[in-house]
Amino acid sequence: MARKGTEAPGAVALDLGEGLSLWDLIRADYQALVALERARPPSLRRHLDVLAQPGLWAVVIFRLAVACHRARLLPIARILFLLNLLIFGTEMAPRARVGPGLVVPHPIFTGFSGGTRIGRNVTLLAGAHIGSGGFDDPKKDGFPTIGDGCKIMDGAKILGPVEIGAGAVIGANALVMRSIPAGAVVVSPPARIVRIDEPGDAAEEEVMNGVDR
């Protein structure tokens, strides 16, 4: 039997932190961000550096918005959502269900839609987006479920009713529209060299002229 606060749609280990207080969730988020800075020796300065990170406060505002949404204080939840968008450039919908230990070190252009479910100790890096796969196709009209301990790297997109297994890593700029098993590492095609021109070639001049315009 799954413990309280844990759901397992399919094979996805998913701890949504049900039953935890607002303070417990914020404390878990803070501790997870501190753990991300483990390369630095434990000290007061490390904690001060974490407190100065915009990602921490973006998550705090998100948690407050979720609490207001659950308390049916919808206008306040909406205001907090917009405040997060204006200050930190992040769209974290208060209807989303997110477990403890959420880490968003660089919140700019990072976000997830209202139907998304995210487990415990998940990291979202800059530009990561989790949301619906589109409203024109019923098969894609749904929201992802992200298992515990996943890492979503810079610019990655996870769209539609897919399940990302616990501990999976979604590489930078990857587009995921199908379910991923636990522990998998998903990468997008890396950049490749199409040709090499000598300095001063016409091709280089064309590129530079295009940049100057």
Structure tokens, 32: 């997870």
Model confidence, pTM = 0.81
DSSP string, 128-160: -EEE---SS-TTT-S--EE-TT-EE-TT-EEES
pLDDT-derived band at 3, boundaries 50, 70, 90 = very low
Cα 119–23–103 angle (5° rounding)? 40
What is the band of 45 on the pLDDT scale with cuts at 50, 70, 90? confident
Neighbour-count burial for 112-141, b at 16+ CB within 10 Å, e otherwise: bbebbbbbbbbbbbbbbbbbbbeeeeeeee
- 170 and 149 Cβ atoms separated by less than 8 Å: no
Nearest alpha carbon to residue 31 among 147, 120, 98: 120
Local confidence band at 207 (pLDDT 50, 70, 90 cut-offs): low
pLDDT, tens only, 55-111:
999 999 999 999 999 999 999 999 999 999 999 999 999 999 999 999 999 999 999
Residue 205: phi and psi, rounded to 5, are -65, -35
Query: Domain residue spans in the chain?
Result: 6-186
Encoded tokens for 127: 């530009």
CATH topology (fold) of 6-186: UDP N-Acetylglucosamine Acyltransferase; domain 1 (2.160.10)
The 10 Å Cβ neighbour count of residue 196 is: 7
